[in-house]
Amino acid sequence: MELVHPARQYLRSYDDALRQGWSPDNLRPAAALDELARIAEDSDKFLTGKMDREANGPPIVLPDGSAVPRLPGYEFWMWDGEFCGSIGLRWQPGTPALPSYCLGHIGYSVVPWKRRRGYATHALALLLPHASAEGLPYVELTTDADNIASQRVIEANAGTVVERFFKPAVYGGTESLRYRILLGRPMSTGAVSRRVDQQ
């Protein structure tokens, strides 16, 4: 599995995954319908919008339907001959801190039929050098307290828990863990090869 920039040669497979019920947003399943609508309206604009380092795209829609300003960021697609999932990086210019409505620098989602292959762990490992190249000293990721699979993905990439908290009500208010990965720090041996499930 490799990370690829969203491009036309991968779009049909991405579209198929959306139509099979996968959503790029674990917290908002309806995001799949939004993606399909944007592809149908203007596929070139859709693909260009996946690399948005200047935050020129539309506001981000939260699970309750409210909208908040978009952060600079970009997305990669996981690819093993077909679409496997997505992983994205976002940041706030000039600081590693994030606004309260953004729960982490990195979000990822693997399609159900490609889970338990270690893809999420490998994708996160491949993305970390990109985060470092943006000048971030660390990245933070959050996961539900009962999501053991996602915790293993992060811990395999040298993530450590810095906070146990409850998500804002807009995200469901669930008990969660905030992890931090220091960039430039070597990962544990075998991190990429460890086979874990991913939510």
36-39: which pairs have CB atoms within 8 A and are 24 or more residues apart?
Answer: 39/11, 39/15
Residue 198 is predicted with a pLDDT of 36
179 within 8 A of 154, measured Cβ to Cβ: yes
Average confidence (pLDDT) over 79-88 = 97
Lowest-pLDDT range, 76-80, 152-156, 176-180, 187-191?
187-191
> In angstroms, what CA-CA distances link 130 with 10, 66, 69, 92?
21, 30, 23, 15
Residue 29 is predicted with a pLDDT of 76
Give the other-Cβ count within 10 Å of 64's Cβ. Answer: 11
Question: What is the Cα–Cα distance from 124 to 137, expressed in whole angstroms?
Answer: 16
Residue 186 is predicted with a pLDDT of 42
Residue 35 is predicted with a pLDDT of 94
Question: What is the Cα–Cα distance from 2 to 77, expressed in whole angstroms?
Answer: 8
Residue 199 is predicted with a pLDDT of 33
**pLDDT tens track for 140-181:** 999 999 999 999 999 999 999 999 999 988 888 899 999 999
Residue 116 is predicted with a pLDDT of 93
**pLDDT tens track for 47-68:** 999 999 999 988 888 878 788 9
**pLDDT tens track for 2-51:** 999 999 999 999 999 999 999 988 777 778 999 999 999 999 999 999 99
Average confidence (pLDDT) over 72-81 = 97
Entry pTM:
0.88
Locate tokens 């859709």: which residue? 46
Residue-range domains of the chain with CATH: 2-182 (3.40.630.30)
**pLDDT tens track for 109-145:** 999 999 999 999 999 999 999 999 999 999 999 999 9
